[in-house]
């Protein structure tokens, strides 16, 4: 989060030999669904098409939304989910989840979709060899909102999360409601106390509690754990994560019950303590079979502020009582909870904790495992998308040049990389390497180059010490 006033946007690093080359799609702030090539050339913009998120499908299709409910009445409610072809024609649409009659607004059916959805044929919505999402049929799982009351949680109106399964024809054939399983989440009495008094109240619609705030949802798909006999990981089961509660959970598709979870309290076992507190996380999903790391859980552990529990000096009421000022991308073995791979400020080369906030997105963001073992990371709050190797080398970096006028950020909710062949309308682009600039010598026009006109030696001045590890002469202790 330590940004200079001036810095380049677009692609700043590109090593074609080490990248998994393809097209990248993301929602450019107040522009629409944007597809760029590896050099940052903008090859397609579906102008104005919303994306919460946008996802490419084989054949040059994109998924998105034609509008958002007036935020005076709803919070992050997309009015529909649509599949659009290369020329902008809507070839599939779903909106018939709830008929909405907001005062002064046109009465209409709405999907109330938010944050995620998955088309049949692919469990996670990004490229997996041999698992292409269907483009002319199949069911779609959609993460939606529903307003309700549940006295077990609070007497206040709740903005609850639901997951529905919709056929190609638009029939809802399955529904899961998050608050129905409140007793399974393992909240402490302290957490229940603050949830009852303040379930993350938002002003929209006269006030509603966005108590869980699920921000990702995907199918497990076939995996080695189920093949070995562990029923918790049935391929039809669904994994989601709740940003406000720090919970990541897997639900049984048949019963809807929780069969696996971590959080909301990370102090309840030695395995969870070793994992460390996951806070405000996004995009938790199981890496699909056929990709490096298959069967592990990949997520963007934002840090920032989230959770319910005991009050502390940073959280007088107990809401948002867990804090951390840097992010982590974690790959976790779901059977042992051990971290298999990670990308944190340390792997990024930043000295911790002094420089940790240089890898930090306290909201949004995501991570995609690529076929060559690299990981595409969306560090969303700063509009930064990077591709890193298993050894943590950044081989591609892009900074979005699009700042919003309503939300004055160049934020990117979540980006996805797709193979060139998914857009047959285009010839594969030329791939031109971009060397990393040396920031010590890079200057904007008019700035003086590095180097002194005069250098003077002062007699008696001692050279600096080279302290041993752990003895750095700084105001706070270093982690290493």
CATH number for position 216: 2.120.10.30
Tell me if 467 is assigned to some domain: no
Tell me if 394 is assigned to some domain: yes
β-pair partners for 290: none
pLDDT for position 2: 62
* pTM > 0.85: yes or no: yes
pLDDT for position 465: 87
* Contact present, 307 and 279 (Cβ < 8 Å): yes
- Structure-token pair, residue 182: 């409140």
| Residue carrying structure tokens 């000022």 | 325
387/381 Cα distance (integer angstroms)? 17
Tell me if 440 is assigned to some domain: no
- DSSP-derived secondary structure letter, 205: G
Extract the residue ranges of the chain whose pLDDT is less than 50: none
* Contact present, 134 and 124 (Cβ < 8 Å): no
Tell me if 439 is assigned to some domain: no
* Contact present, 352 and 478 (Cβ < 8 Å): yes
pLDDT for position 201: 97
Tell me if 448 is assigned to some domain: no
For 147-183, what is each residue's pLDDT tens digit? Answer: 999 999 999 999 999 999 999 999 999 999 999 999 9
For 361-379, what is each residue's pLDDT tens digit? Answer: 999 999 999 999 999 999 9
For 182-230, what is each residue's pLDDT tens digit? Answer: 999 999 999 999 999 999 999 999 999 999 999 999 999 999 999 999 9
298/242 Cα distance (integer angstroms)? 15
Cβ atoms within 10 Å of 11's Cβ, excluding its own: 20
Cα within 13 Å of Cα(178), Cβ side: 29
Tell me if 449 is assigned to some domain: no
Q: ∠ at Cα 69 (67, 75), nearest 5°?
A: 125
pLDDT for position 474: 81
Q: How many domains does the chain have?
A: 1
* Contact present, 233 and 222 (Cβ < 8 Å): no
Q: Which residues of 289-310 are buried (b: 16+ CB within 10 A; e: fewer)?
A: bebbbbbbbbbbbbbbbbbbbe
Domain span at residue 323 reads 10-422
Tell me if 294 is assigned to some domain: yes
Cα within 13 Å of Cα(455), Cβ side: 2
Q: Nearest Cα to 116, choosing from 241, 210, 252, 209?
A: 241
Tell me if 464 is assigned to some domain: no
């Amino acid at each position: 989060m330590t940004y200079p006033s001036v810095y380049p946007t677009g692609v700043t690093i590109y090593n074609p030999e080490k990248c998994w080359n393809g097209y990248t799609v993301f929602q450019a702030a107040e522009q629409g669904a944007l597809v760029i090539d590896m050099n940052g050339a903008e090859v397609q913009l579906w102008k104005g098409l919303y994306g919460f998120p946008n996802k490419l499908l084989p054949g040059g299709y994109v998924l998105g939304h034609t509008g958002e409910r007036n935020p005076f009445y709803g919070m992050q409610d997309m009015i529909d989910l649509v599949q659009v072809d290369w020329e902008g024609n809507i070839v599939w649409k779903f909106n018939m989840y709830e008929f909405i009659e907001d005062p002064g607004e046109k009465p209409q059916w709405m999907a109330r979709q938010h944050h995620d959805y998955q088309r049949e044929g692919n469990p996670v919505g990004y490229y997996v060899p041999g698992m292409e999402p269907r483009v002319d049929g199949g069911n779609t799982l959609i993460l939606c909102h529903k307003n309700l009351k549940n006295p077990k949680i609070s007497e206040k109106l709740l903005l609850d999360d639901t997951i529905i399964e919709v056929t190609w024809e638009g029939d809802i054939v399955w529904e899961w409601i998050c608050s129905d399983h409140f007793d399974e989440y393992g909240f402490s009495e302290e957490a229940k106390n603050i949830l009852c008094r303040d379930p993350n109240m938002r002003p929209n619609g006269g006030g509603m509690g966005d108590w869980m705030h699920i921000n990702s949802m995907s199918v497990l798909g076939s995996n080695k754990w189920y093949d070995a006999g562990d029923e918790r990981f049935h391929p039809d089961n669904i994994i989601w994560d709740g940003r406000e509660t720090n919970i990541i959970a897997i639900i049984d598709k048949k019963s809807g019950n929780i069969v696996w979870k971590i959080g909301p309290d990370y102090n309840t076992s030695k395995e969870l303590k070793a994992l460390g507190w996951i806070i405000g996380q996004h995009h938790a999903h199981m890496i699909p079979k056929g990709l490096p790391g298959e069967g592990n859980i990949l997520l963007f552990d934002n840090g920032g502020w989230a959770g319910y529990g005991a009050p502390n000096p940073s959280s007088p009421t107990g809401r948002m009582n867990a804090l951390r000022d840097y992010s982590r991308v974690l790959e976790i073995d779901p059977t042992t909870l051990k971290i298999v791979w990670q990308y944190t400020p340390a792997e990024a080369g930043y000295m911790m904790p002094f420089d940790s906030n240089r890898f930090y997105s306290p909201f949004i963001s995501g991570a995609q495992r690529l076929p060559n073992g690299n990981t595409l990371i969306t560090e969303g709050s700063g509009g930064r998308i990077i591709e890193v190797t298993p050894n943590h080398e950044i081989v591609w970096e892009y900074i979005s040049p699009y700042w919003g006028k309503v939300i004055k950020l160049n934020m990117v909710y979540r980006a996805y990389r797709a193979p060139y062949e998914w857009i047959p309308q285009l010839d594969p682009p030329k791939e031109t390497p971009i060397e990393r600039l040396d920031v010590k010598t890079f200057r904007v026009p008019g700035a003086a180059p590095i180097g002194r006109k005069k250098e003077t030696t002062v007699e008696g001045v001692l050279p600096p010490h080279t302290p041993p590890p752990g003895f750095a002469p700084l105001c706070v202790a270093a982690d290493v």
